Structure 1
Amino acid sequence: QLTTITDKRLKQISAKVFSANEKSGIIKIAYPSELFEFGNIPQLMSSIAGNVFGMSLLNNLRLEDINFPNAYIRAFKGPKYGIPGIRKLLRVYKRPLLGTIIKPKLGLDEKEHAQVAYQAWLGGCDIVKDDENLSSMKFNKFYSRIAKTINLRDKCEKETGEKKIYMPNITAECDEMLKRAEFVKKVGCEYAMVDVLTVGWSALQKLRKENEDLKLVLHAHRAGHAAITRNPRHGISMLVIAKLCRLIGMDQLHIGAIVGKMEGGKKEVQGIGEEIEHKFIHPNKKQHVLAENWLHIKPMFAVCSGGLHPGKVPALVNALGKDIIIQMGGGIHWNPRGSYYGALGARQALEATKGGFG
């Protein structure tokens, strides 16, 4: 027994198990809010998803969900734009947004990269995104790539009369990441994407803080998530990661595709979509979802990607609705006639499905 604290004080700050189901193995634990520094996500995760995972007596442990007290939520700003702000920026209100990821992941130089982006925009894509592996390479330097791609974006906007978005990958060491964010803003880019798990929660919070002045739309890519989310008996659920991204203030998040090549079942992906888009979340015991009231926090745009092609658009929209961003990589760039025709086919598939959008 500890001699450094009184029994009374220890009882006040102790976590309490208030629900335990031996059959399902689901345990619900309540923690006193005074154990947490509000606004500090690294401290939160160190506390509830830290050393406990290394305990020798445990074979498996999985964090399925977190319910945040209202006071904790109020310590965060959440997304700067969210769904309403992004739709206003693109002037597209009644259909899913269409995006592409430049393929191949690596290998193109700056000029080739910009040209592929131009062809995709011209064919009908709203958004073009860097791949998560592409940062600043010997054959494709970040600052040169951004400048060349933005020039062709501007050209395409004049030719099509549509708003076009370029989503450059600014993932890097924290200081360099912020430097890149400042640069993309300076050259007229409205977006930045970041690999949220590989940069870490601290860097993500720093980026969101600086974004009060930068005013960029922040896209959260989840590269590496499956290392901790995929095992259904161990790790941390994708739902938890999604909630943390919304709390910190990402505007968009890749949630899976249901009908694509990436893991994630229909109910799981739908549940994540609801969690990041709705204000009030109702509990769902089957999906291990807790109730949540997101208060002032704006809704995030759900991004669907991974193994998608034009033929899968109707099923995807039927499952997730119109408030999604559909991103195709190979589904556009593998078209034998080129990226323009791949994007054209994807846009036509979206327009053909548009009857249900009003």
Structure 2
Amino acid sequence: MGGFDFVKDDENLTSTSFNRFEERVSSLAKKRDQAEQRTGERKSAFINITADTTTMEKRASLLAEFGWNYAMIDVVVAGTSAVSTLRDYCSDLGLAIHAHRAMHAAFDRDPKHGISMQFLAKLMRLIGVSQIHTGTAVGKLIGSKKEVRLLADVLRNSLTKPSGNILLEQDWGSMKSAFPVSSGGLHPGLVPDVLDIYGQDLVLLVSGGIHGHPDGTRAGAEATLQAIEAWKEGISLHEKAARSKELARALEKWGSYQPK
């Protein structure tokens, strides 16, 4: 109701005794339909199906049954073979894949061993996911602006340009692009910085910066949209906040604080 297009499961949430997958899918579908009727806007969700391959297929089928158009998978935890299998299965159901990179740091943050996040992003694009998390450079996750921009280029461009010993030139030919997902410690005060880095072709995930708004979740969503509008209008957040009370309240709480 606050204007956002999607909600998202946490990467740790699949099905628990207090939050069963099947019940969550059904309940969210009702809320989606209500929000669409009231706003006239399309709404969706990234619901986490991560499990063994057979269970993921069953969960994907349930998502399609309830009219969802995305399935979320923790792609490192599930493994590339499982993700590839689910890509084909979900495609037949009309579901795109939202890829979460949870556990990636176990092998891409030590410079002496492992693989790079750029390689993982390439691999997921080749498999055919529609979106994958790439960090923020200004939020709580480790990652420089250069790294984030390189990841966005790997996912979005038809030709990836070489970059030192990190990336070789890559002509993607007819391979589809994927959206980079910026998430982790974001709030309205950081939105312009993220958009300066990524541009407009991204998925912007704001969680605590929405739910933690002094006036509640809906006001937090509205404040974040107002921050996006300010960036598009080419004005400062404080100029926008002068006539946008939700953004003003968010700036009072967070300012431009960058979590560590």
Verify same fold: TM over 0.5.
yes
Separation of aligned partners in 1, 2:91 and 2:188: 37
- Higher gyration radius (CA): 1
The normalised TM-score by structure 1 is 0.64
Partner AA of 1:179 in structure 2: K
Task: Say which SS state the counterpart of residue 302 (structure 1) adopts.
Answer: strand
- Which residue of structure 2 lines up, in the alignment, with residue 90 of structure 1? none
The one-character-per-residue Cα deviations of 1:63-104 (angstroms, maximum 9, x if unpaired) are xxxxxxxxxxxxxxxxxxxxxxxxxxxxxxxxxxxxxxxxxx
**CA RMSD between the two structures:** 1.0
Q: Could you tell me how far apart the structure 2 residues matched to 1:232 and 1:312 are? A: 29
1:172-216 CA-partner distances (Å, limit 9, x unpaired): 111001100010011111111000000001111110121231110
Select which of 167, 186, 192 maps to 2:71: 192
Question: Aligned-pair distance for 1:350?
Answer: 1.0
* Map of 1:307 onto structure 2: 185
1:247 aligns with 2:126: yes
Q: CA separation in 2, counterparts of 1:232 and 1:331?
A: 32
- The equivalent residue for 1:163 is 42
CA shift for structure 1 position 345: 0.7
Q: How far has the Cα of 1:232 moved from its partner?
A: 2.1
Deviations 1:269-301 (A, max 9, x none): 10010011001112122x521000111111101
Instruction: Structure 1: give runs of 5+ residues left out of the alignment.
Output: 1-121
Runs of 5+ consecutive residues of structure 2 not aligned to the other structure: 235-260
Matched with 1:52 is none
- 2:94 pairs with 1:202: no
Mapped pair 1:126 → 2:5:
yes
1:332 and 2:210 correspond: yes
Bigger relative contact order (CA 8 A; separation at least 6): 1
Are residue 215 (structure 1) and residue 98 (structure 2) matched? no
Deviation beyond 6 Å, 4+ runs, structure 1: none
Output the TM-score relative to the length of structure 2: 0.88
TM-superposed deviation, 1:259: 0.6
Give the superposition deviation at 1:308: 0.4
Aligned length: 234
For 1:343 and 1:199, how far apart are their aligned partners in 2? 31
Structure-1 separation of matches of 2:87 and 2:96: 10
The 3-state SS of whatever aligns with 2:205 is strand
Alignment of 1:228 with 2:88, yes or no, is no
| Pairwise CA distance, 1:131 | 0.5
Paired residue for 1:116?
Answer: none
Alpha-carbon shift at residue 353 of structure 1 (Å): 1.4
Taking the aligned partners of 1:183 and 1:250, their CA distance within structure 2 comes to 19
Percent identical residues: 46
Distance 2:5 2:34 in 1: 14
Query: Paired residue for 1:342, among 220, 225, 229?
Result: 220
Measure, in 2, the Cα distance between the counterparts of 1:159 and 1:303.
27
